Structure formats: C-alpha cells, structure tokens
Structure 1
Amino acid sequence: MDSKAVRQKFLNFFINKEHQIVDSAPLVNKNDPTLMFTNAGMNQFKDFFLGNEKSKYPRIADTQKCLRVSGKHNDLEEVGLDTYHHTMFEMLGNWSFGDYFKKEAIEWAWELLTEEYKLPKDRLYVTVFEGDKDDNLGLDQEAYDYWKAIIPEDRILYGSKKDNFWEMGDQGPCGPCSEIHIDLRSEDEIKAKPGKELVNNDHPQVVEIWNLVFMEFNRKASGELVSLPAKHVDTGMGFERLCMAIQNKKSNYDTDVFVPLINYLADKAGVKYGSNEQIDIALRVISDHVRAITFAVADGQLPSNTGAGYVIRRILRRAVRYGFTFLNFKDPIIFELVDILDQQMGDVFNEVRAQKDFIKKVIEQEEASFLKTLDNGLKRIESIKSSISDKVIDGKTAFELYDTFGFPLDLTSLIARENGLSVDEKGFQEEMAKQKERSKADAVKETGDWTVLDKVEKVEFLGYDSLATQAKVIQYRTVKQKGNEVYQLVLDKTPFYAESGGQVGDNGYLESENERLKVLDTKKENDLIIHIVEKLPTQVDAEYTAIVNKSKRVDTMSNHTATHLLHHALREVLGTHVEQKGSLVNEKELRFDFSHFQKMSEEEITKVEQMVNQMIRENLALEEARNTPISEAKEMGAMALFGEKYGDFVRVIKFGESVELCGGTHVKATGNIGFFKIISESSIAAGVRRIEAITGKRAEDYVTEQVELINEVKNILKAPKDVKASIKQLVEEKSQLEKEIQKLHASKAGDLKKELLSSKKEENGLVKIISKVDLPSSDALKQISFELKNELSNLFLVLAANIDGKPQISVVIGDELIKDKNLNAGTIVRELAQEIKGGGGGQPFYATAGGKDLSGLDRVVEKALKMV
C-alpha cells in the first residue's frame, strides 16, 4: 500500500465513523503566542478542549502538518542520524469533543490497524498510564480494561508520566494516554529478545505508531490539575512511521514518502544510498529538511534572521551544509525537490502546488546565499582547529562564524563535534548579547572611516532626467564583509538610483581619462548615495563620467511603473482593502505584495491583467510633481506605501487614475512598457498575497512560449482549428469508454454470479460455493461476495480470484453458521492465504486475503473443499 493510499484509508475509515474531515492547520502557528509552530494535531483545537469555544463538529479527523524543532518538542539534532525522527511530519488524528471517549478510541484504533491496514496483532504492544503520585493520579484502569478485552494482557505495558501523560506544554489541556507500538524486527530477533523489553527505549524497529490521548485535565500555571468541562479524545498517529510498518520497511526513509527524494539526490550526487553512513545521513537530512522548509514557506513563513523565520533558515542551512560537505553540492539543488513534493503531496496539501514556483525561488535564493559563505566558513573552522590547544572553540570565534559566515550556533557545534571539538556556548551568547546592543549602523563589520575629499550640502540626484553626468568623488571608505573587500564612493552628483522603495540600485561605470571602474550596486545610507565598486580609483580627485547601465534601468523603470498600474487595478477589481505590503522591482521582473485574504480566482487575475494592459495601450503620460507638500499630495489622492517615511515634501507619480507617493524611476509614458503579463499569484503570509509579473520583451517571450506549447498540443491532437474542442472530445471519449468498461465488468460479474448460484451445493446444513474466478477488481470481488451473502442464508463462500494477475481470496460465512458452527471467515482466510504466499483477515462474516503466488489459487479451492 503506497503512502497516498495509507493516508486516504485513514480518512475514509473515520468518515465511516461519522467524523468530519477538516484541513490541516498551517505549519506556522499564527494564533497562539506560546507556540511558534504547530507541533501536534491538537494545536488548532486547543480552545475546544478548554471549553472556550465549541466545535461545530463533535467528531473530527485530519492529517496535520507538524514541525518539531523548537521548545519542548525539539527533534532537530536526531533528524537524519536515526531512521525515525523528523522535523516536519504528518500527524493523522481523530478527535472527539465531549462525544466518545476511551472505549471507542481504543476499539477503533485496533480495528483500523489490524483489520484495515492488516498489521499483525502479534507484533503490537500497547501502554497505559501507570499513575503519578505528584499529581495524585492512579493507574488508568479504564483504558487497561478496554485493552484487556481485545489484546493479551502480557502485551499491555505500564507507562510513566513521561511516556503516558500527554501535555502540550507547561500549561494547557492534558491527560493520560495509551500508545500503540509495533515490533518490526526479524523473527529471530524477536525470539532472542521480546519486544516488550524494547518499548519506549528508542529502538529503531520497536516504535510508537499511534498515541491515544484522553484529554480530561487542564494544567494550571501553578502546576495544579483541574478537570476540563468535558472529556475529549485526541489521537495522533505518525504518518511516516505508519507507512514504514505497513510497507514492511526498517526505516521511515525506506518508504515511498522519502525514497523519491533520496533517489533524486543520490542520482544528482552520483552516490548510492546505503553504501556509506555519512552519505546516508546527508541524504536523509536533506530529504527531511526540504519538507519542513517547503511547507513553512507555503504557509507564509519566509526564512529570516528572527523568530520562526530564523528556525526555517537554520533548517535550510543545515541541509545545505550536509549536501555541501558529503554530497559535493556546490550549487543550489534542494529547491529542485519541491517538484517531487508537489507530485507526492500536492493533491492533499494544495498550498504547495499553488505556490510551488515561489517556494522554489525562496529556497534556491537561500541556498545560493549560504553556499557563498559556507566554503569560506568551513575553511575558517579548519584554521581554528589547528590554532586551538584545548579543543574548545571560544564564544567569540563561534560568534564570528555566526555573524560573518552565517553559521548558527547549533551548526558550528555540529561541525565541531565531528572534528572532536566543543564550543563555548555561554561565551557565544555573551557575544550575541553585545551585538544586540549595537546600533544597526554598526551592523557591517570592519567598516573603515570615511575619507572626506570635499563637502557638499546635499548630493544631487540627477537620475530622473539623465543616465550620465560628470561627477567627482567627495568621500570614500573600505568595507570588509563576508571575507571580501569592497569600496564605497560618494559623488557630488549622480544619475545612479540607490536601492530603496523596492527598486533595486543601478549599476554601470565610472569613467575617467585613465580608467573605467565598474559600479556593482548603489545603496542608500541616510542621505548618502553610495556607489559600490571593486577597487578604489587610482586618482580619487579626478573627474569622472558616471554612466548608468541603460538596459537595466529602462527595464527596471518599466517594471516599476507596472507595479503602480497593478496596484491601481487590484484595488479596482478586488476592493479598496488592497494595500501594498512590499515590492521588488528589478530589470527582470516585478514582485508585488498586497493585503488580501483569499486566493485570487483566474477570472480576477485575468481582469487585473487586462486592465493593466489597457492602461499601457492608452499610453498614459507620466505626471510628476516633485517637492510637493505632503498635505497637497494627499489632497491629490496620492497613496502612501507600506511603512515608508515621508518628509514634509514628497514626490507624486501619476499615470491616469493611479496616484502614488514614490521616489523611484518611471517611464515617460505607459506605452513604453509594451506588455504586462502576470506569471504567478501566491500567499506569503496570513492575509498577504504576492503577484509576480514580467513586462516588455520578457512578457512577449513568455507568451510566445505558451503559444508554441499550444501549437505543439494542436499538432499532437491534429486539431489545427479548435484545440479546446479536441481536448473536450478526448475527455468525453475517455469517459464514455470508462462507462463501457464498467458495463462490461458489471455484465461479466452478473454472468459470474449466475454461474456461482447454479453451482451451489447444500449439505450439512450449509450452502456451499467454492470456486476459482476471474474478476476485474477487488471491489467487484467484494460486491459479488456480499450480493451472494444477501441472497443465500447459511452460506459458506470461498472465491479464489485472479484480479489483474494478482491472487486474492474472499470468504463469506452466514450469520447462522457463525453462531451455530463457530465458523470465522478471518480464521479461514488466513489459513487459505498460505497457499498464495500471503495473508489477510477480517470479520467473522467476511474476510479477504492477498498474496504473491497466482498458481496457488487452485490449491486454495482444494483446501476449502477439504475444510467443508
């Protein structure tokens, strides 16, 4: 059973138990200040347990995305080193809010595991809470008694408060729990040492798969336990471990949840999983971590330097480091795995599919950034290793690795351990505290003093009107950053636009009679426009011609003006609640973040796109008002943008009805943009959407590619005029053929049913039908079995079926035979399954089995006849 089927079977099971299936809560916890990430399925239901809010549904089931890398539940350091810890994982769960309690939770768990998933009963153990004196709690006798009714007592184990009393934190809902563990070891290992001795002892093949929590208490801040207003059930089953058990694997990473990721990485690295322990760990780390990163970004948490964003960045950098060191990945690679995750999980968690391209870009950017510093940082550690005598990396050096090379403390500690070293963590924290006290102006390390050649009242920016001007260097300094030296120049006047307001800085050249200096970027610091160059001028007092890269500027201006038009169109189409929350404008694309609380429909996106292109075709002229009093600008209807600080005088940019305060550069008329095309719309945070778009030649190329694709489809379909009609026809034909096949199957099953009825024999008080049959599907086998059961009393039915080349057995026992002759379909089918090298089970009246040996079906019939 593949992982998709495992997940769906769980949900279907609880649908049949009258549960409402709900969506997973976001991985990033936005509503609970005590919790950075969702670390358990019950997080989103906390208020239901406390009685603060009433659930719309008394019974709920879902699969919940969880992340355990911070706080009490922190598995990060174990991830990859063993075979069953993860950062992000799925938690399958069912809940009762004041409805059913221990009896149903226990019985249904056992039914699902043993009858639906067919897990062997003799490999399962359960635990119950043994009590705790400090909390004045005794043995959970109720749970023990329910378990005793369905499992041998020697498989019921007592668990301590640590293992069998679940609490989400120091405060909040809690209660005793029963865990279900499975022993996945070989028969010889089991004979050598009973599994009960390994339960809750971190054995990789004796693992907990399901925890049934009985929420009946609330832990107060004082530590006191008080009863909740109602008793609830909260269960959590680790999806990855369940797949390991069902797929009969020895590691979570050997299941189809991880194998596609590991195989992709191994192929890219030219290695084989299972050949080297360090390589295996690296493959596991990356395949695990990319899931956590992908889902965090999809739920609106971008990597950053603080809070939850820092945790995500730390996870990503840990993955990059393992790939760099053990798999020789020198270029971004992890982002490519998002495509596999989309294939695996996009149907269930569509936020990944909807934002796949954006997620890939975020991860790729983070990878590229960290890879630049990783090589130098690792060399630095090698240097440190050779220079210390006490095998301890001092706190200052560890902080240098963090501040200069971007190594978080846990990463430095990990590398240190691998090199036989340790880290002075206290000293690191002291250095960190010192840094927080410094002003942001001192954030860049080893910044040289300004050398002032001349003073001007204010640097004159000429870039609105010109892309070149004569200029002089008035001051300069050296900056050492990330191991490199760059130089910063300030000119008395400049056409270079400094990065601000979402628009990137210009690049270009400074030319004199004797040299040409490349301007890498342009930044702003207070009122200074700083030109970043690779080297200092040989004659700093010479006169230079400052020349902006025209191509980059023109494309950037087109994209910036397009963001203004886009903003206006969004407010027209979606409503005036739309406000700009961020933007990035460069020569390649524009990215616009805005407030909106749901995904835009295709119709809305199309309407916005059409409106922007209409304004472009109208060739609206730029109306620019510089040095306008801010009060007058507001009277003009100009929109102030996302957190910008405005002085008494501002610059107003107007294109038709679009009026905004803006300091960026723009085209003279909208017609210069040429064409506008939205290429993505996605969520980046709660209530914030992002549109990415292209203009001009890039947009034209994009549309050309799409047209070429359609033409290719036309050629394949041989439909030069109406590709839509051809595709519709294909779909209809496929649907019709499927219906015909279903009719044929139904007809065949009907004929078979008649044959079976005619072959029935009555003897010894029972109606006997034992036959070898061919059927198209397991569902058909089940249907015909039940139809015969409903028509015949005292039925003893054994069907040995060939289903698409695979052997299956169906056994039906009439109710009276179960009662009078003590017959059991489950027992019988297990005995018969030996003939097809398989196994199965079920209920006394109906059971099924599958196997590997198709040739054994004849033997199944012979054995069934002898049984009768």
Structure 2
Amino acid sequence: MKSELIRKKFLNFFQSKQHLIVPSAPIVLKDDPTLMFNNSGMAQFKEFFLGNGTPPSKRIADTQKCLRVSGKHNDLEEVGIDTYHHTMFEMLGNWSFGDYFKKDAIDWAWEFLTEELKLDKSLLYVSVFEGNAAENVPFDQEAFDLWKRYVAEDRIILGNKKDNFWEMGDQGPCGPCSEIHVDLRSAEERAQTPGRELVNADHPHVVEIWNLVFMEFNRKADGSLEKLPEKHVDTGMGFERLSMAMQGVKSNYDTDVFTPLIQKVETITGASYTKNNPNVEQEKINIAIRVIADHVRAVAFAIADGQLPSNTGAGYVIRRILRRAVRYGFTFLDAKKPFVCELVATLAAQMGESFPEIVAQQQLVTNVIREEEQAFLRTLDQGLQLLDQVIAQTKGDTVSGQKAFELYDTFGFPIDLTALILRERNLKLDEAGFEAAMLEQKTRSRAAGEVTTADWVQVNDRELDNPFVGYDSLTNETTLVRYRKIDSKKDGIRYQLVLESTPFYPEGGGQLGDRGTLTFGNEVIEVLDTKKENNLIMHIVAKLPEQLTSRVQATVDAVWRKHISANHSATHLLHQALRHILGTHVEQKGSLVAPGYLRFDFSHFSKVTAEELQQVESFVNARINENLPLVERRAIAFADAVAEGAMALFGEKYGDKVRAIKFGDSVELCGGIHVPSTAAIWHFKISSESAVAAGIRRIEAITGEAVANYFAEQETELKEIKAILKNPQDIQKSIKQLQDDLQKAQDQLEKLNKAKFEALATQLRTQGSLQNGIEVFAFEIDADANQAKDVAFAIGANHNHAAILLATNTDGKPGLSIYISKELVAEKQLNASTMVRELGKFIQGGGGGQPFFATAGGKNPQGIQQAIDAFKAQF
C-alpha cells in the first residue's frame, strides 16, 4: 500500500469517528518558548491539555510534521546509522479533549490497524504501564483488560515509567500510555526468538508504531503528580514506520517515503545504495545516502515554514542538520559541489499534495539550501587549510583535542572529518581533550541559559479565558488570576502574572510585547515585558505586589504603544509596496516591530536598487498621506478572509476565526496593534536594505518621531560638514574638489613608491648568494606585505633558480613572503607554502599559499632574523 493512501485512510477513518481533521501546524513553533520545533503531534494542542483554551472540537485528528533534533527528544546522531530514526517525521494522531478515553482509543486503534489496513494480527504486540508505587500510580489494569479482548496475554507486555508513562516535559500533563509494536522479522527469525523479548530493545525490525497516551495527571515543579480536571487521549503513530510495516520492507528507507529521494541522490552523485550484504565501505555510503535523504526533508520543510538557517536558536539547528548532510556527501560520496538543493524538486513532487507549502516555496527553499551548501563547502576548504597548519605545528603523532575543538567551534569544521583526515595521515586525535573542551562549552551554555520555573499559584478562581482588550483600550480594571516564579541566570528572579483580562499585547508576529504598569491599590508594579505561552498572556514583573487579591489597574505605556503601532502598520504598507513595485512573488519572511524601528524580511531574488527603494518609500508615504482608515474584522472565517484577498503567511498557524487588517488595498491577517489611520504613521524612511539569505532580502525603516530625529541629525551633520569646508556656497562642488585633490596626491604617492621599490629590487638583485645552484635572497625590507610581493616578483623575474624570502615589520606586525622560481618547484619539488608554515613559527604565526609564492603573518617581530637564518640554512 502506497504511503499516500495510508495517510488518506487514517484521516478518513477518524473522520468517520466524528473527528475534526485539522491541517499540520508549522514545523517551527513561534508561540511556545519551551519548544523550538513541533516535536510531537500534540505540541500544537498543548494549550487545550493545559486548560488554557477551548479546542474547535472535542475530537481531532491530523498528520503533523515533527522535528526531533534537540532537547529531551534528540535523535540526530542516530539518524542514518540505523533505519528507523529520523529528524523530520510525520506523526498520525487522534485526540480526545475530555471526551472518549481508553476504551475507544484502544478499540479504534485495533480496528484501524487490523480491519482497515489488514495488518497481520499475529505480528502485533502491545504494552501497558506496570505502575509506579513510589508515585502512587497503579498498574494500568483497565488498559490490560481492554487489550485482552484482542490480544493474547503473552503478547501484552508490562512497561516501566521510561517506556510506558508519557510526559510533555519536566512539568505539565502526563499519564500512562499503551504502545503498539509490530514484529517485521522473517518467520524463521520469529521462531527462534519470541517478539515480546525484543519489544523496546532497539531491534530494527521489532518497532513501536503507535502510542496511545492516557493523560490524567499533571506533573508539578516539585515532581509530584496531581489529577487533571478532565481525562484526555493523545495518540501518535509514526507514519514512516507504519509505511514500512504496510509495504513489507525492513527499513523506513525502503518505503516509498524515501526511495524517490534515495534514487535522486544516486543519480546526482553516481553512488549506489546497496542493501544486500554491504561491506564496510558500502555501508558508509548507505549511511551517507540515508542521512541526506532524511535531512533534506527537515531542512526543506523548516525553510518553507519560515525558519532560515542562522547561527542562533532554531536557525542554528537547521544549519547544523544541513551541514551534517553536506559533510556526509563530501566525505563518503565525493560530492564537492552543492547537491542537496537538487533534491527539493523531488520532495515537492512527492509530498506537495499533502503539504502544499513545499510546492509554493520550492524555488526559495532550493535557493537558500544552495547558498548554505556553497558557504559550508568554502568552510570545509578553509578548515582543511587550517587543519594542515595544526598538523604542521603538532609534535608527535597526536593532535591536540583543544585545537580540534577550536576548528569545530570557531570555524565549523566537523570533528569526524578531522578524525578521518588524521587517520589517513597516520595521526591520532586526542579525543578525551576534545570531549573535555566540548563539555566545558556545554556546561557554560547550559549555566547561562538555566531557568527554573515554579508551579502556578492560583490567586482567584476565575474563568481563565484571558481575554485581550487592548485593541480598544490602553487600560482596564481586572483581577490577578495566577502567577509563577521564574529564576534564570540571565535575568535573575522574575514573576509571570496572568490577569483575568488585559490591555497588554504579548510578543508575537514580530511585534514586541507591551510595557506599562499594574497598580494594586497604591502599589505600582512595572511590567517589563509581555509574553504568550500556550494561550496565556503573561505579564513579566521583577517583584510581586503585596496585595495579590486586590483589584488591578492594568495600564499600557501609551508612548510605547504609539510608536510600535505606527511601525507595525508601516510593515503592512511596506509589504504592499514591495509587491506592487517588485512583483507578487514578494512574500513576508519575518519581521521585527519595535518602538524605535521596524525590520521586514521578504522573498526576492536580487538586490533592491536605489531607484526601487525610492519608489517603495514614495508608495508608502503616499498611502500615509491618503489618511487611510483602519478597517478591522476581528472574527472572520479564515476561508472568507483569504477569499476576500487577505494575505496568509506561510509558517503561521491560523485558527478557524481570524483577524483581518485593511488599509486601502492592503489586506492582511494579523493579530497585532495598528494605528487608527495611516496619517498617524506621519512619515516612512528606509534606513537600510541587505541580504539575509539566498532569495531573502531585509529592509529596516523608521517612522514618526524617529524620522523627525533622523532629519534633524542629518541637518546637524550637514552644518558641521559645511563648517569644516569653510561654508562654501556649493558644498557638492567643494567635496568633489577635495576628492580630486586627494586622488592626485594618491597617484603621485603611488608613483613614488613604485620607483622606490623598483630601485630596491634592482639593488637586491645583485645581493643574492649562490647555494648549490640556487640563488638565495633573504632580507628584511621597509615595506608592507603587498609591496614585498611586488619586490619579490621583480627580483625573481631576472632569475630562473631563485629562492627569495622578504621579511616585513609593519606597525609591530611581522610578515614573511617567500617566492620560489617555478623551475625550482618543478625540478627540486620546493614548496613556498610548506616553507612559510614552518618559518612562520619563528614570528608566532602561520600562513600558506601556492608552491611558488606564499605568505605568513605573526605577532613576534623579534623572530624575523631567526626566520631569515633558517631560510638560508635550507639550501
């Protein structure tokens, strides 16, 4: 059965059981600071399990794009090594929010697998929670008895807390779970070893395919458990593993989920994926192909959902995954040019029907991956040169683990590639030293980011709908419902306060969270920031009020709100302007809305010209001058809003009801704060335009008072320039005259220097010494590195067998330039690059170059004479 049909059957089955089918949430999470990525099917429903919102239906089913490469669920280093772990995977899931519980979940799981899919019942095992006396959680007798109706008791396995008690994290909803495992071994293998002995034993062909979680507890900060008000069901079935079982193969990578990608890798690289009895070298190739086929899915979908590779946060994780794929191709498939980008078209053709975002964003994804590959391949080239220097400086046969760590940490050179190259050169790596340096860095990073979160303290028993009233007012009287204490290394002790209602807008959609005050009686508490987590609006404060139960006057900083709303509305007009002037291919790819400025990232495949930027500015300012009123629709159906022309952004999660913002012809789905009319923006000025990634440009701009301040600063600066130029009538003419005079002076100086160094070269040509048929020149000269190169080539032009070292000392920074006649390079295999690396040690530096010319820089001028003497001694 094809994987596409399996997916459809699952969704149709649960739709027949009155489940609402919802689309996959973006793989990149934007409203949950506890997670970078959707790492399970239930992640997008956390707020409902926590009781912070009302689900659109008590029964829901979907297929969710998931990514597990960081934190508690980290499978990255196993991906490709085995045949069943992945970075990105699909999780088929069905949920009950206070509706059905164990019986229906178990009945429907068995019905779907054995009747709908016709999976052989004799291949299935199930597990139930054995209980935990220490936490007073009993053996799951109910699940055991329910399974006995379908499965013989010897196929029901009792699992411990690790395997059969599922938890969202260190805190939060949790409960016992019941897993379904399938035994895909041959009949002969099954006859030799009972399958129950291999359940949860990491056997590649006895694997878990479905986990039924029965959420009935809440894990508190102190580790204790309390009962949830309602019982829920959260199930997750691995789509790739189910496809393996249904297609009768022994590896996820042998299913039609991966085979198109594997075949494309074979076509691109010329390598072959050989499954039958591979030798050691072939298995390395197989692993590399599996890594690449897996990783392109994770990277492509993350980029399509709006997460660009970068050096921090989620972007760093995506870059790390892509680089892992590239280095496996580089090392084992001899792929020295970008190739992962060529797989995107295959992926789009394969998965585009179920996930249309990969088709819509195909060109952008391809371009971003290609540029990242090119950059990393340059890093590898640079790293190989640096590794050569490390090897040259190594005494003995073991390379320092600290040096290897510096290559890895500072330059991004993979440690496994370092180890491979060292083995090829009969050298060893101090692995213990590397691991110690890595542990030290991780310890520092962990300490810097360490956060302790206490349990929520309930102050008032109010309905926690947490309504936001800030669209209409900057202040309102309300009540504190709950709070919790946060202790972080970065910020110290903070408190998160949740109010019954609030005018404070939480950070989201690029807009920074509101600031202001909370007044409890006569006590005023400053709100440092406002965040949203699992549908709760949280006011961040440095201290708790003394009167927690008194009424609260919540007041947003009006100046903050004024500036930030102007900048947010300006981003909408900017988006409209870019699409009007550059083309409708332009789409927002990220934004930052702060009080002082705005930042807007968008898809476009070339630099925006100065003329185009001026047109964009003029377009936005024209809309401002038109004084277009804000037209706001707060609860319009998503489908209706899109049908009416509203822009929906890829990578954003939208509910059934959305808020549409309209200024003239600009219509976007947006939950942010906006001006009542465009005139309130006052003026729009672009401050910069730059590249973010391949096909992604960034504009930074200012509005309102910031523009007024900008023009005032420009006027002041102009006055100062005029004063320096002695107040000329025509300032441009005066500056042009200065430039012309400077250019003439530079030309004259260049001529003088050229004559000086030609004379020096003429003088030095006669001062070499003949040593074993080689004309050796070694001097310290008063010049910089570029001038030394010119002198060396001028000397060498008159000698066919010359070896030249010219040392320089510019502002206390020594340099060495070595020239070797090409005849000597060919006849005697002399190598300037090798020489300069050795001689560079005398000046406490290093360098490299080509066999006939190379340079080195250092920091010890006192070593120059030693380098000269050592150079002469070689001949």
What is the TM-score of this pair, normalised by structure 2?
A: 0.52
How does 1:66-465 map onto structure 2 within 5 Å? 66-273=66-273, 274=275, 275=278, 276-378=282-384, 380-381=386-387, 387=394, 393-404=400-411, 406-407=412-413, 421=429, 422=431, 424-428=434-438
Equivalent AA in structure 2 for residue 155 of structure 1: R
Secondary structure, aligned partner of 1:134: helix
The CA distance in 1 between the partners of 2:423 and 2:439, in whole Å, is 19
1:581 to 2:645 alignment: no
Q: Which residue type is aligned with residue 206 of structure 1? A: V
Q: Does the Cα contact within 8 Å between 2:599 and 2:700 map onto a contact in 1? A: no
Match of 1:566 among 554, 561, 578: 578
Supply the distance in 1 between the matched residues of 2:373 and 2:311 (Cα, whole angstroms).
15
1:169 is displaced (CA, Å) by 1.1
Distance 2:266 2:608 in 1: 34
Distance between the aligned counterparts of 1:184 and 1:435, measured in 2?
A: 42
Q: Quick check: 1:396–1:428 contact (8 Å CA) kept in 2?
A: no
Q: Counterparts of 2:166 and 2:58 in 1: how far apart (Å)? A: 21
What SS does the aligned partner of 2:178 have? strand
C-alpha change, 1:198 and 1:563, in structure 2 (3 Å) is closer
Q: What is the CA distance between 1:389 and its match in structure 2?
A: 5.5
Q: 1:33 to 1:340 in 2, by over 3 A?
A: same
Alpha-carbon shift at residue 582 of structure 1 (Å): 3.7
Q: What is the DSSP-based 3-state SS (H/G/I as helix, E as strand, rest coil) of the residue aligned with 2:188?
A: helix
Distance in 2 separating the partners of 1:48 and 1:129: 24
1:143–1:393 distance in 2 versus 1, CA, 3 Å: farther
Equivalents in 2 of 1:189, 1:634: separation in Å? 73
1:381 deviates by 4.6
Q: Distance in 2 between matches of 1:361 and 1:113?
A: 41
Q: Distance in 1 between matches of 2:605 and 2:98?
A: 56
1:272, distance to aligned residue in structure 2 (A)? 1.5
Q: Structure 1: which amino acid aligns with 2:406?
A: F
Contact 2:390-2:403 within 8 A present in 1 as well: no
Aligned 8 A contact 1:50 1:229 in 2 = no
Partners of 2:260 and 2:346 within 8 A in 1: yes
Question: What's the CA shift for 1:428?
Answer: 4.4
Question: How big is each residue's C-alpha offset from its partner over 1:793-828, in whole Å with a ceiling of 9 and x where there is no partner?
Answer: xxxxxxxxxxxxxxxxxxxxxxxxxxxxxxxxxxxx
Q: Is the 8 A contact 1:91 1:236 kept in 2?
A: yes
Which residue matches 1:41?
Answer: 41
Identity rate of aligned residues, in percent?
58
In 2, Cα distance between equivalents of 1:582 and 1:247: 43
Deviations 1:317-359 (A, max 9, x none): 0000000111111111101111111111111111111111101
Which residue in 1 is equivalent to 2:837? none
Deviation of residue 380 (structure 1)? Answer: 4.6
Label 1:637 to 1:259 Cα distance change in 2 as closer, same or farther (>3 A): closer
Deviation at 1:400, TM superposition (A): 3.1
The Cα shift of 1:401 comes to 3.4
Q: Quick one: distance in 1 between partners of 2:406 and 2:42?
A: 38
Deviation at 1:134, TM superposition (A): 2.4
Q: Aligned pair count?
A: 500
For residues 97-153 of structure 1, the C-alpha deviation after alignment (integer angstroms, 9 at most, x for no partner) is: 011100011111011111111111111000000011221112100000000011111
Deviation at 1:416, TM superposition (A): 8.4
1:420 positional shift: 6.7
SS at match of 2:272: coil
Residue deviations 1:587-621 (CA, integer Å, cap 9, x gap): 67779999999999899799xxxxxxxxxxxxxxx
Alignment CA distance shift 1:262-1:230 (3 Å): same
Letter in 2 for 1:53: G
Q: Partner of 2:236: helix, strand, or coil?
A: strand
Q: Is the 8 A contact 1:286 1:323 kept in 2?
A: yes
- 1:649 paired with 2:713, answer yes
Alpha-carbon distance, 1:425 to partner: 3.5
C-alpha contact 2:310 2:319 (8 A) present in aligned 1? yes
Counterpart CA distance in 1 for 2:114 and 2:388 is 54
Closer, same or farther in 2 for the Cα pair 1:263/1:131, shift >3 Å?
Answer: same
Distance 1:420 1:206 in 2: 38
Q: Which amino acid aligns with 1:402?
A: D
Distance 1:209 1:338 in 2: 28
SS in 1 for 2:28: coil
Answer yes or no: is the 8 Å Cα contact 1:181–1:206 preserved in 2: yes
Q: What's the secondary structure of 2:135's corresponding residue?
A: coil
User: Any gaps of 5 or more consecutive residues in structure 1?
Assistant: 437-561, 607-632, 652-868
Q: How far has the Cα of 1:36 moved from its partner?
A: 1.1
Aligned positions of 1:744-759 closer than 5 A: none
Distance 1:333 1:569, change over 3 A: closer
1:827-846 matched pairs, under 5 angstroms? none
Aligned to 1:793: none
> How far is 1:634 from its partner?
9.1
Give 1:410 deviation, angstroms: 8.2
Distance 1:283 1:571 in 2: 38
In 2, Cα distance between the equivalents of 1:569 and 1:644?
17
Q: Which one-letter code corresponds to 2:263 in the other structure?
A: N
Q: For 1:558-591, what per-residue CA distance to the aligned partner results, in whole angstroms no more than 9, with x for missing partners?
A: xxxx99963776999999x997614698867779
Deviation (angstroms), 1:271: 2.0
- Letter of the structure 2 residue corresponding to residue 216 of structure 1: E
1:59–1:321 Cα change, 3 Å:
same
Contact 1:140 1:176 in 2 (8 A): yes
Return the alpha-carbon distance in structure 2 between the equivalents of residues 322 and 66 of structure 1. 23
- Partner amino acid for 1:288? D
Deviation at 1:365, TM superposition (A): 0.6
Task: Compute the displacement of 1:643 (Å).
Answer: 4.5
Q: 1:415 and 1:46 mapped to 2: Cα distance?
A: 47
RMSD of the TM alignment (CA)?
A: 4.1
Distance 1:322 1:361 in 2: 21
Between the aligned partners of 2:210 and 2:171, the Cα distance in structure 1 is 23
Once residues 391 and 299 of structure 1 are traced to their aligned partners in structure 2, the CA distance between those partners, rounded to angstroms, is 45
Q: Name the CA distance, whole Å, in 1 between partners of 2:86 and 2:174.
A: 24
CA change 1:354–1:414 in 2 (3 A) is: farther
Alignment pair present for 1:12 and 2:9: no
Local SS of the residue matching 1:260 = helix
SS of match in other structure, 1:295: helix
Give the C-alpha shift of residue 395 in structure 1: 2.8
Shift of the 61–636 alpha-carbon distance from structure 1 to 2, 3 Å rule, reads closer
The 5 Å alignment of 1:487-506 reads none
Counterparts of residues 535-554 of structure 1 (less than 5 Å):
none
Quote the residue 1:65 is aligned against. 65
Contact 1:395–1:429 (8 Å) recurs in 2: no
Cα distance change, pair 393–9 in 1 and its aligned pair in 2 (3 A): farther
Task: Show the 5 A alignment for 1:515-526.
Answer: none
Q: Is the 8 A contact 2:48 2:97 kept in 1?
A: yes
- C-alpha change, 1:302 and 1:634, in structure 2 (3 Å) is closer
